[in-house]
Amino acid sequence: MSESLEGKDFFCIFALENDYSIFKSLSIMKKYLAEMVGTMVLVLMGCGVAVSLGCDPVNNIPAVVGTAFAFGLSVVAMAYTIGGISGCHINPAITLGCILSGRMTAKEGCMYMVFQVIGAFIGSALLALLTANVPGLEGTGANDLQANVSVMGGLLAEIIFTCVFVLVVLGATAKTNGATNNFAGLAIGLSLILVHLVCIRYTGTSVNPARSIAPAIFQGGTALANLWIFVVGPFVGGALAAFVWKAIEPAEK
């Protein structure tokens, strides 16, 4: 009788552990899918507005303002939609900042990045499908060096403004920084608007490798040739932001 009970106990424990493992895997997968959906919305809405308004930092300033607000509002919307699921990074540079500041493992961070890029491709594909059916609308809102901006100038712009943006993200979402994380989504979205208003004149504003990779692949040309700027720059900026935040982060209360 005792051996039979022990066998049942072992089976129950094994079943519970197996159920927990499945539940944990599903929970993690939901995070990845949330990042994919969030990045898809960011690219579709942000780049979609840039294409629809004909964003040109020299000849169409109202479109620049509209594009800046589109990206910022997309982040605000997604922050309050998927923030409780994945943290709403929807940006590999932010994910890198979180890895380097010790908020997540490298393994989980890499999976975030993979799904962010997948989401960006879905958003770009939908945008390409829409514009293909409307004469006069071209491209997918890809980043590129703007008029009279050198490679070094573009790279520095992406490093500097990504650093500023990711620093805001790390500070606004920090548990050690008072009650600021209650309004993190709003602060992050507004800062992205500000970054776009400044940086569009230099590079069209990436500060997000996923946002740049997919549109450049679809658009080709110089956007694809200069794509490395919009991958290297944001990653360097994100890493710098993590180091700056670690240096100024308040002590845990």
Q: What is the mean pLDDT of residues 10-16?
A: 48
CB 243 within 8 A of CB 164: no
* Domains along the chain with CATH numbers: 2-248 (1.20.1080.10)
Q: What is the pTM of this model?
A: 0.89
Residue 15 confidence (pLDDT):
47
Secondary structure letter of residue 57 according to DSSP: T
Residue 7 confidence (pLDDT):
52
CB 75 within 8 A of CB 166: no
Q: Provide the β-strand partners of residue 56.
A: 60
Q: Is the pLDDT of residue 14 over 50?
A: no
Vertex 138, ends 143 and 192: CA angle to 5°? 35
Secondary structure letter of residue 60 according to DSSP: B
Tell me: the pLDDT tens digits for 184-237? 999 999 999 999 999 999 999 999 999 999 999 999 999 999 999 999 999 999
Tell me: the pLDDT tens digits for 74-118? 999 999 999 999 999 999 999 999 999 999 999 999 999 999 999
What does the radius of gyration of the chain's CA atoms come to, in whole angstroms?
21
CB 238 within 8 A of CB 147: no
Residue 22 confidence (pLDDT):
60
